[in-house]
């Protein structure tokens, strides 16, 4: 993946982070995914007083992509305004793995980035197999 695409993903995630709804944690997260078509979709975290109902930025961006009719994540960038990059949580890793089994994962802060793949973050994902 080109440096220009990586930078566009990071910038898209940085910009949408400002829209996050994080009244409980104050931890605002932005995410951007690029699909097979090359289009970028964004999402931010949306917290709920019922913490289990909180939507992570990564899943919001993926849901945005799915709602637009696309089905494959090529790469995802996650941006936080913190010292250390924030890695996707377990549920987000599962979503990324199902919709982009070899997706690049880029985590970024104002001071730097870290690149990995979903294969490295979730080497043995859950796979549903219907009983015969």
Which of the residues are catalytic? 58
Q: Which residues of 88-104 are buried (b: 16+ CB within 10 A; e: fewer)?
A: beeebbbbbbbbbeebb
Distance CA 71, CA 35 (A): 8
């Amino acid at each position: 993946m080109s440096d220009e695409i990586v930078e566009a993903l990071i910038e898209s995630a940085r910009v949408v982070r400002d829209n996050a709804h994080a009244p409980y944690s104050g931890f605002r997260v932005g995410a951007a995914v690029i699909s097979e078509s090359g289009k970028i979709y964004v999402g931010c975290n949306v917290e709920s007083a019922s913490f289990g109902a909180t939507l992570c930025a990564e899943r919001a961006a993926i849901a945005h992509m799915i709602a637009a009719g696309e089905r494959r994540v090529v790469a995802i960038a996650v941006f936080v305004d913190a010292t250390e990059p924030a890695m996707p949580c377990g549920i987000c890793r599962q979503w990324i793995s199902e919709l982009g089994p070899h997706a690049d994962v880029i985590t970024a802060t104002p001071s730097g980035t870290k690149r990995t793949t979903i294969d490295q973050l979730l080497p043995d994902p859950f796979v549903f197999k219907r009983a015969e």
